[in-house]
Amino acid sequence: EVRLVESGGGLVQPGGSLRLSCAASGIPFSSNWMHWVRQAPGKGLVWVSRINTDGSSADYADSVKGRFTISRDNAKNTLYLQMNSLRAEDTAVYYCARGHCSSTSCHFDCWGQGTLVTVSS
C-alpha cells in the first residue's frame, strides 16, 4: 500500500520556525521527485516546492523562496520542509505528494493526508 504521512505541523508565532516531515512507504521513494503543496483554510491548492530524486536540485514558489528549504533522506524514505521566518499567510494544510516529472512538467499521483500549520501570536 502506498502511503505518505506528514507530521510536524502545529501552532507557531510569526517569525518562528517549523520542520515538516513526510514519511513514505510502499513506493520507491529514492526514484521519485517529491513535492510540497499547501492549502490555506477555505482556499485553493498552491504548489510550494519540489526536490529531485537525489536531493541535489530543488525549486520553490516565489512566496517561500529564501525562507523554506526542502530536503530528503532517501535512507529513511522521508521528505522534509524546513520553514523559517513564518508569516500569517503561511497558515495552511501542507501536503506532500509524489511527482511524476518529465523535463517540462510534473503530475502528482499520490498525496499525504496533510498537516496543519498555524502561524499566529
Partner 1 sequence: SYELTQPPSVSVSPGQTASITCSGDKLGDKYASWYQQKPGQSPVLVIYQDTKRPSGIPDRFSGSNSGNTATLTISGTQAMDEADYYCLAWDISAGVFGGGTKLTVL
- What residue ranges bind partner 1 (CB under 8 A)? 35, 37, 44-47, 50, 59-62, 95, 100, 102, 104-109, 111-114
Give the shortest CB-113-to-partner 1 separation in angstroms.
Answer: 6
Please calculate the CA angle 91-92-95 and round it to the nearest 5 degrees: 145
Element (H, E) at 82: strand 78-83
Give the shortest CB-65-to-partner 1 separation in angstroms.
Answer: 10
Indicate the residue among 83 and 96 with the shorter CB distance to partner 1.
Answer: 96
C-alpha cell at 59: 525549486
- Distance (Å, rounded) from C-alpha 110 to C-alpha 76? 18
Give the shortest CB-35-to-partner 1 separation in angstroms.
Answer: 7
Indicate the residue among 56 and 121 with the shorter CB distance to partner 1.
Answer: 56
For the chain, the C-alpha Rg in angstroms (whole number) is 13
Indicate the residue among 60 and 68 with the shorter CB distance to partner 1.
Answer: 60
Name residue 59's beta-bridge partners.
50
